Amino acid sequence: MSTYRNTHVTPSVRAANLLKTALASSPESVAPHTTAVISEAHALIAGEEPYLENYTSDLLVPQSHLDGTGLSDAEVRGAWTSLLNATGDTDWLQLHADGKTQDRLGSAMCSGAYEAVVLQNFALMAKPARVLEIGVFTGTATLALALLPTVQQIVALDVEPYLKEFCEPFWASAGVSDKIDFKIAPALETLATMSKSGCEPFDLVFIDADKPSYGAYVQALLDLGLLSEDGVILADNTLYKGCWVAPEMFESTELELDEVERKQLQIQKEAMDGINEFNAFVRNHPELEACVLPIRDGITIIRRKL
Ligand SMILES: C[S@@+](CC[C@H](N)C(=O)[O-])C[C@H]1O[C@@H](n2cnc3c(N)ncnc32)[C@H](O)[C@@H]1O
């Protein structure tokens, strides 16, 4: 049983929080009908993600993986649950304070159990042999994709050296280490290095790193010949917290924020702007087709024009 709880903010989580605030603060003078309407809207929006999660299967653990590794289904699921729990239980702020991570990471960065199954289903349709993940964090998506029978290799890119130490024991317990090549450096540098060394192109790419660089990642994949002819790119967080409606706090100069909070808000604002720019970039790209899906914080499927 996983104790991990997703703490991410998606457009629907943000909307649910706003409606909750409206309910809590609605004065006596508001007509009961209006309160009932807000209450129903809140129940709809707040209940959607739990409903989706309830009726989506658990992690897909193919029999072929068990046969190939000699592990039992319970052992693989045990490794998966331990990874999710460790992601949620780790004191990421303390690790940053201790100098173990360069940036402030947090469990909300994890794409989580539901999205892992979504990604597995996309991959079962695309049948990729070579997968690239840009932005790994605790490697849950990496593990989920590595379990699939067509996947021969996942090249996983992140900037944080500590994450290698964190992820690898869980990948080993799940029997997927042999398929994963974890490279630590800024992703654009690694892409250039891989291209120079004659790296084979990838069939499936999952982009989930720093949001302002998404466009540069897609263009680099095309320019460096790292996307196979029928390759599919999945870009995560393309509805970033409802990026089409900037919260007022991002604009306000009156909030009393300490330096760290101010920096975090600035990062979020840059991410929102970056995602808005990225969505326009892909939609207007002469070589690409895009399909934005409202899954969790948004996933865009990108492929070459037919
Ligand atoms: C949202 S998390 C990735 C989540 C992960 N894909 C998952 O499915 O749970 C973003 C990650 O991108 C990494 N990152 C940020 N900037 C990067 C860069 N320039 N190059 C490579 N990784 C980067 C961060 O260290 C962080 O681990």
What are the pLDDT digits (tens) for 60-103?
999 999 999 999 999 999 999 999 999 999 999 999 999 999 99
Which pLDDT value is given to residue 179? 98
Of 5, 12, 38, the residue nearest 242 (C-alpha): 12
* Residue 118 Cα to chain centre, angstroms: 11
Q: What is the pLDDT of residues 148-179, one digit of tens each?
A: 999 999 999 999 999 999 999 999 999 999 99
Fold of 63-304: Rossmann fold (3.40.50)
The rounded percent of the chain whose pLDDT value lies above 70 is 94
208 CB less than 6 Å from ligand 1?
Answer: yes
CA of 41 to the centre of ligand 1 (A): 34
Digit-coded pLDDT (tens) for 174-227: 999 999 999 999 999 999 999 999 999 999 999 999 999 999 999 999 999 999
- Per domain, the residue ranges of the chain are 11-54, 63-304
Report which ligand 1 atom has the smallest distance to the Cα of 102. Answer: 25
Going from the Cα of 27 to the center of ligand 1, the distance in angstroms, rounded, reads: 43
User: Considering the chain, what is the average pLDDT of its residues?
Assistant: 93
Q: Show the 3-state SS of the chain.
A: CCCCCCCCCCHHHHHHHHHHHHHHHCCCCCCHHHHHHHHHHHHHHHHHHHHHHHCCCCCCCCHHHHHHHCCCHHHHHHHHHHHHHHHHHCCHHHHHHCCCCCCCCCHHHCCHHHHHHHHHHHHHHHCCCEEEEECCCCCHHHHHHHCCCCCCEEEEEECCHHHHHHHHHHHHHCCCHHHEEEEECCHHHHHHHHHHCCCCCEEEEEECCCHHHHHHHHHHHHHCCCEEEEEEEEEECCCCCCCCCCCHHHHCCCCCCCHHHHHHHHHHHHHHHHHHHHHHHHHCCCCEEEEEECCCCCEEEEEECC
Q: What is the pLDDT of residue 22?
A: 87
Atom of ligand 1 nearest to the CA of 87: 9
Any atom of ligand 1 within 6 Å of the Cβ of 145: no
Give the closest residue (by CA) to ligand 1 atom 6.
136
Q: Give pLDDT tens digits for 129-146.
A: 999 999 999 999 999 999
**What confidence score (pLDDT) does residue 8 get?**
76
Lowest mean pLDDT among 84-93, 112-121, 264-273: 264-273
Indicate if the alpha-carbon torsion angle 15, 16, 17, 19 is positive or negative. positive
In terms of DSSP bridges, do strands 130-134 and 153-158 run parallel, antiparallel, or are they unpaired?
Answer: parallel
What is the ipTM metric for this complex?
0.99
